[in-house]
Amino acid sequence: MLTWEFPPLVVGGISPHVDGLSRALVRAGHEVVVLTLHHADVPDDYQAGGVRVLRARADLPWLPDDNFIARMASANHMLVQLTTRLDGWVPDVVHAHDWLVAWAGDTLRVLWQRPLVATVHATERGRNHGYVPPGQPAGINAVEWWLTYQSTRVIACSRFMVNEVRAAFDVPETKVAEVPNGVDAGGWTPTTDLPRGEGGDPLVVSWGRVQYEKGFQTLVEAMARLRHEVPGVRAVIAGRGSHLPELQHQAQRMGVADVVHFAGFVPDDELRFLLQRASCAVIPSLYEPFGIVALEALAAGAPLVAAASGGLSEVLGGANAGAGLLFEPGNPGSLAHQLLRMLTEPGLAERCQAEGFRLVQEVYSWDVVAAGTVPVYRDAMAGR
């Protein structure tokens, strides 16, 4: 497996995805090597849950920070160099996670004469609401297209993403497999019976990269409405990103700076504690291919309200309805209404918690996800 982020580096959903999937594959009896980038807190060659992890130092040559595509292309050469440590070991399948490792994945496909499988976790077109701006977004879009073209099979995490990949890159339907994301439920399950709320007052928790497409601005505006309906309600938004200053200004402008707290980066153990205390968790994303954060909330037992955007509507809708509430993406009135229901309607939060726990155990555990990934590998190996 090739990935640019892997624990302890966690930027988005790719890191926990590769970590959870690779460990589950090892538990199922497969041999997995992960090639990724150097991190100061861990060795460059070690075992993690039976997975061998090799890390490449990609500091040089120095390239401008604003030329991200060039920096990642350069780092991919270092990822390929890691294979010299394998002493002749050759895998059956090369699995590249997203465009950031496309060059290395394609090079190893040729060197090893093995099939390339690519997981598309998100697309630049989707992040820009169907439009590809010139410059870096257009460059990333081109690499994404090339990766799907060079791959024998492509994996997408939801029906929404399958359709997006097919439409964006003209990929045949038979080439794309839908395999969902997963969650390590044991890492999020409450270990103590903590009272939910903050000092007796309702506590709403939201978290993730603070970018416009994550929709936190919708939650800030919803809180301006909710504070008059639910006495003492407070919200915590955890995370950092380029949209944070605008959010803080919005909270001041709307008069909710006293009830909306921006916590910045929150380590995993503190985030687990927050979710175990939350009266309600909110995922307000405008664009969300799947939403591992939704599974984390369900595993932590947090009653969940999420935007009906992309894969989130599949996690909480259809056959999974009952694990949480959905609201219209970008609509603060719709979000405020669903938050009011979750916080005040008798028995609703408890029913959602029970159904959410069943989902993460029976549908979205990494062992189940790994079992759905292996047939894709076998098809790729057979040339199908």
Which SS3 state, helix, strand or coil, does residue 262 take? strand
Asked if domains 14-182+365-381 and 185-362 share a fold, the reply is yes
Q: Which amino acid, residue 161?
A: M
Any idea which residue has 């809708």 for tokens?
A: 317
**Calpha distance 93→214 (Å, rounded):** 33
Give the rounded percent of residues in the chain with a pLDDT score beyond 90: 74
pTM: 0.86
37 neighbors 75 (Cβ within 8 angstroms): yes
pLDDT at 191 over 70: no
Q: Which DSSP string corresponds to 62-106?
A: ---TT-HHHHHHHHHHHHHHGGGGGTT---S-EEEESGGGHHHHH
32 neighbors 125 (Cβ within 8 angstroms): no
Average pLDDT over residues 227-238: 94
| H-helix segments, 239-331 | 244-253, 268-277, 292-299, 312-316
Give the rounded percent of residues in the chain with a pLDDT score beyond 70: 98
363 CB-contact burial (10 Å; exposed 0-12 / middle 13-18 / buried 19+): middle
Distances (CA, A) of 186 to 12, 152, 272, 273: 20, 34, 11, 14
* Per-residue pLDDT tens digits for 240-255: 899 999 999 999 999 9
222 neighbors 341 (Cβ within 8 angstroms): no
If pLDDT is split at 50, 70 and 90, which confidence band does 13 have?
confident
Residues, the chain, total? 384
Residue-range domain boundaries for the chain: 14-182+365-381, 185-362
Show the tokens assigned to 236. 């915590």
**What's the pLDDT at 128?**
87
**Calpha distance 152→255 (Å, rounded):** 53
CATH of domain 14-182+365-381: 3.40.50.2000
If pLDDT is split at 50, 70 and 90, which confidence band does 37 have?
very high
**Calpha distance 284→290 (Å, rounded):** 13
Lateral strand order in the sheet of 280-283: 260-264, 234-238, 203-207, 280-283, 304-307, 324-327
Q: Which residue has the higher pLDDT, 77 or 320?
A: 77
Average pLDDT over residues 147-157: 96
Average pLDDT over residues 369-380: 97
Q: Which residue has the higher pLDDT, 228 or 383?
A: 228
Task: Give the lowest-confidence range in 51-65, 110-124, 205-219, 287-301.
Answer: 287-301
Show the tokens assigned to 321. 């309805």
End-to-end CA distance of the chain: 20
**Calpha distance 286→219 (Å, rounded):** 12
Q: Which CATH superfamily is domain 185-362 in?
A: Glycogen Phosphorylase B; (3.40.50.2000)
Which helix H or strand E contains 369, and what residues bound it?
Answer: helix 366-381
**Calpha distance 206→196 (Å, rounded):** 15
